[in-house]
Amino acid sequence: MKIILRILIIISLSYGQVDYSSQVQPIFNQDCTSCHGGSGGLTLNSYEELMKGGNSGAVIVAGNATSSLLVQRLDGSVTPKMPQGGSLPDSTIDLIKQWINEGAIEAVSITEEELLPLLFEVDGNFPNPFNPLTRIVISSRTKVEGRAMITTASGTAVFDFGTVQMHPGTNSLVWNGEDNTGRRLASGPYLFIFKNSDLILSHRMILLK
């Protein structure tokens, strides 16, 4: 699992991790700084000013574009929509979202040493095999939100944790081997699945009775 995730991260970087200076700041320079050179207390002339936020507080939540006020203003989920009198193309907003979800860093580093430890990985479940409970352990370097569930080996969903947030550090979820109705499931292999718009992770575990 860890090897697969490392490959996915490297592939993502090879297709171009978003660089703030060359890709994000030019968007602000063209479409935003005419108003936000200080309007509302928010200045978008530099990375440092952006991360300070404005009168409404921080506008960037590193690792979580959905919760970032900047994105909410750009996509219109929070009013007033920005920029005033117009809107950015969806592809431009998606680029800003990607930058935030990647950690909202100022400078991109793609050396292999910098990739480790991984941003997000399933360490395993303990015990495994298990009966009746197991604790699924997930390590994360950033705040990550997604849907977590248990499926059969063939992919049929049997238990839904719902939307969960993984915080920097070690996180864990406990499963008692039951489905959504409280029925004990049969012995066999099951998959823990975590997914959001950016990634899908899976981890295999064994339930024994």
Q: Which residues contact 197 (CB under 8 A, 6 or more apart)?
A: none
Residue 180, pLDDT score: 94
**Residue ending a domain, choose from 40, 67, 101:** 101
* Distance separating alpha carbons of residues 54 and 45, to the nearest angstrom: 13
Domain count, the chain: 2
Q: Is 7 a domain residue? A: no
Residue 163, pLDDT score: 95
Residue 35's domain comprises: 18-101
Residues 126 and 198 in one domain: yes
Residue 15, pLDDT score: 41
Say if residues 203 and 136 touch (Cβ distance below 8 Å): yes
Residues 84 and 153 in one domain: no
On the CB side of 209, how many CA atoms lie within 13 Å of its CA? 7
Residues 157 and 203 in one domain: yes
Q: Is 108 a domain residue? A: no
Residues 67 and 127 in one domain: no
Residues 90 and 165 in one domain: no
Residues 65 and 138 in one domain: no
Query: Torsion angle of alpha carbons 107, 112, 116, 119, nearest 10°?
Result: 50
CATH number for the domain spanning 155: value is 2.60.40.4070
Residues 144 and 94 in one domain: no
Q: pLDDT tens per residue, the chain (209 residues)?
A: 443 444 343 334 334 578 888 889 998 988 887 787 765 578 888 888 888 888 888 899 888 889 999 999 999 999 888 888 778 999 999 999 988 887 788 875 444 333 334 577 888 999 999 999 999 999 888 888 999 999 998 788 999 999 999 998 899 999 999 999 999 999 989 999 998 887 788 898 999 87
* Distance separating alpha carbons of residues 201 and 191, to the nearest angstrom: 10
Q: For residue 174, how far is the Cα from the chain centroid?
A: 21
Residue 142, pLDDT score: 83
Residues 92 and 133 in one domain: no
Residue 80, pLDDT score: 86
**Residue ending a domain, choose from 101, 136, 169:** 101
Residues 82 and 127 in one domain: no
Residue 105, pLDDT score: 82
> pTM for the whole thing?
0.47
Q: Is 13 a domain residue? A: no
**Residue ending a domain, choose from 72, 101, 130:** 101
Residue 116, pLDDT score: 35
* Distance separating alpha carbons of residues 161 and 150, to the nearest angstrom: 8
Residues 23 and 84 in one domain: yes
Residues 123 and 200 in one domain: yes
Residue 82, pLDDT score: 87
